[in-house]
Amino acid sequence: MASDTDTTKTETVYCHNCGEQIDAAAELCPHCGVRQRPPPSAVDDKRLVAALLAILLGSFGAHKFYLGRTKVGILYLLFFWTGLPGLVGIVEGALYLSKSREEFEAKYAERDR
């Protein structure tokens, strides 16, 4: 009869900053202290919300405020009466949806502006 030993392994990944092996569920790297990327579903959710805001409320720059680009959002608000930000918002919404998760994350999700 085999002994009941705990053979469950914890899933590990590599830190995207220092390259050390860390637990996959770790929010911060214990070696360098850098916050790890959000899980894919969080990025996908952010991409979908940004796209819907761009399509539905693009005239007012809601998607720009959501993505942390406040100055551009204010510019959209200043010119909303022309209708041009609404057209640009529809195009940007389609672009957000057409980007892969990695492309969206690199361009918008990790931006600190």
Of 20, 14, 85, 13, give the one whose Cα is nearest residue 56: 85
Q: Same domain, yes or no, for 54 and 77?
A: yes
Q: Which residue has the higher pLDDT, 72 or 20?
A: 72
Give the dihedral sign, CA 38/42/44/45: negative
Whether the CB-CB separation of 18 and 34 falls below 8 Å is answered with yes
**d(C-alpha 82, C-alpha 44), whole Å:** 31
Q: Which residue has the higher pLDDT, 43 or 92?
A: 92
**d(C-alpha 30, C-alpha 33), whole Å:** 6
- Model confidence pLDDT, tens digit, residues 4-44: 454 556 788 888 788 888 888 888 888 888 887 766 666 67
Residue type, 18: C
**d(C-alpha 88, C-alpha 26), whole Å:** 39
Q: Same domain, yes or no, for 71 and 46?
A: yes
Q: Which residue has the higher pLDDT, 2 or 54?
A: 54
Evaluate if residue 84 carries a pLDDT over 90.
yes
- When divided into structural domains, the chain yields a total of 2
Q: Same domain, yes or no, for 82 and 49?
A: yes
Q: Same domain, yes or no, for 49 and 104?
A: yes
Which range among 13-17, 39-43, 72-76, 91-95 shows the weakest confidence by mean pLDDT? 39-43
Query: 109: which 2 tokens?
Result: 């999700």
Q: Same domain, yes or no, for 18 and 47?
A: no
- Domain ranges, residue 21: 1-36
Residues in the chain, how many? 113
